[in-house]
Amino acid sequence: MENAPLIMAIKGDSGPRKVGHTEHRNSVPWWREVADTGRVDDQMIGYARKAFGWTGDVAVSAGPRGALGQIWRVDTGGRSFALKELFTEPKGPIEPELDFVRRATAAGVKVPLAHPDRDGNYLVESGKWLRLYDWVDLRPVDLTPPETPRRLGELFARLHRCAPPMTGAEVHPWYRTVPAQEEWTALLPAAGSFDGLADIPLLSALVTAPKPEELILCHRDLHPENVLEDPTGELVVIDWDNIGPATPAREIAQALFDWYCDPEPDLTSMRAMYKAYVDAGGSGRLTSTADFTMLVAVRLNFLLLQSRIALDPETEPQHREWAEREVEEAQRILPTPRHFTDVLRALR
């Protein structure tokens, strides 16, 4: 979840997108089997050269990584690309993502251009899973200007206005359920404790199933590493791999905390962002603590996953170091039930 001073267009994440996917070849956790992400895989680059038709010199350097993916900058033929290497096999079709990106672009949302391979595929298997995009120099959004909450609220409203309905679609458990208490208990002997541990049962009790009729297609990952500024100051949305059904209220609730709670809520900025969202036609309305379900589920599931990676003795060192940093941040920004009450009161 950490930002670099200057970030290219696409960062790593899960990537569950593939037409005609196959089951993962084994059950070994990805963090034990992938190579050192700081080193260029010559075989992977050779495959990408053939798949995308690169000729002449190809210069490759490491870019940022995410929880489940690594970005490589590729300079060839006078152009720069972001080659995205996924650590895990995609689990679903890519067409919904491409359609949503087209809708968003038509609605005025700026996104990086994706490139198919020579056969027209937008996701390439090479023993690893690859995506290719234009390289775009991006920087974190400056939260200090008073107009930033308004700009964010208007952007998220635009995304929700153009999103297709997904009435009755199945929502992945990652976004609607939380780990059982025994899963946390099993970690304690090795992980120790942290100040927010007592809040986990209270947070878990707030989680409810979404109303099927309210579901639309959502980005579901609109945190500050995935909404960035280009050199002209325009907002750019990246990392569309996690799209899927969610209610607009739950996505905007999650976004409020992703942007303006570290570790305490900035109620003034949240109020301005939510007002701009509503005024711009965003359909989500925060009315109860149940609207924070997706936020709670994602935060707790992510914290548990990264804790397991950090504590697994067979984890590759680079993945352990990354996970340890993520665990520290996830603990710091874990919301409390009081935060939700305060935010709901401020938004009335």
Domain ranges of the chain: 30-140, 148-347
Radius of gyration of the chain (CA): 20
- Cα–Cα distance measured from residue 11 to residue 110, given in angstroms and rounded to the nearest whole number: 16
At residue 163's C-alpha, the angle toward residues 158 and 168, to 5°, is 145
Tens-place pLDDT, residues 259-310: 999 999 999 999 999 999 999 999 999 999 999 999 999 999 999 999 999 9
Superfamily of domain 30-140: Phosphorylase Kinase; domain 1 (3.30.200.20)
Q: Which residue, 19, 36, 188, 207, is CA-closest to 117?
A: 19
Strand pairing report for 129-134 and 139-140? unpaired
The pLDDT assigned to 264 comes to 98
Tens-place pLDDT, residues 4-38: 323 333 332 333 222 222 233 334 554 544 445 56
Residue 347 three-state SS:
helix
Task: Report, at the CATH architecture level, how domain 148-347 is classified.
Answer: Alpha-Beta Complex (3.90)
Tens-place pLDDT, residues 46-103: 999 999 999 999 999 998 887 768 999 999 999 999 999 998 887 778 999 999 999 9
Which long-range contacts does 229-232 make (Cβ < 8 Å, 24+ apart)?
Answer: 229/138, 229/139, 229/140, 229/141, 229/142, 230/110, 230/136, 230/137, 230/138, 231/137
**Residue 48, both tokens:** 């990408």
Tell me which residue has tokens 């609607």.
176
- Cα–Cα distance measured from residue 345 to residue 88, given in angstroms and rounded to the nearest whole number: 41
Q: Which residue, 65, 66, 49, 47, is CA-closest to 57?
A: 49
